[in-house]
Amino acid sequence: MPFSSAERALLLGGHQIGPRVIARLEQLGIEDLDTLAGQQIEPLVGLIADMLHAPCWRASPHARTAIGNAIAIARAARERTP
């Protein structure tokens, strides 16, 4: 099941996070903020690059920033949840 509409809206509010970034996460089976919060930037960017057969994803500062921001949002949301 993909990110809920509330989680999607929260992620889309993040800098450099667009629908395609969220789609890539969902393609990897990361479909909620709690799962995303447990990820690390570099391995996740590497998995996406491998999945897409696109080494440019691995080398892209924009991709790393987007994934890092998404992870930060997920971690902040997890800290706010009792």
* Total domains, the chain: 1
pTM, full prediction: 0.94
What pLDDT does residue 82 have? 66
At 81, is the pLDDT very low, low, confident or very high (cuts 50, 70, 90)? confident
Does 80 score more than 90 pLDDT? no
The enclosing domain of 48 has a CATH number of 1.10.150
**What is the residue-averaged pLDDT of the chain?**
96
Domain that holds residue 58: 5-80
**Tens-place pLDDT, residues 56-74:** 999 999 999 999 999 999 9
Tokens for 75? 């971690």
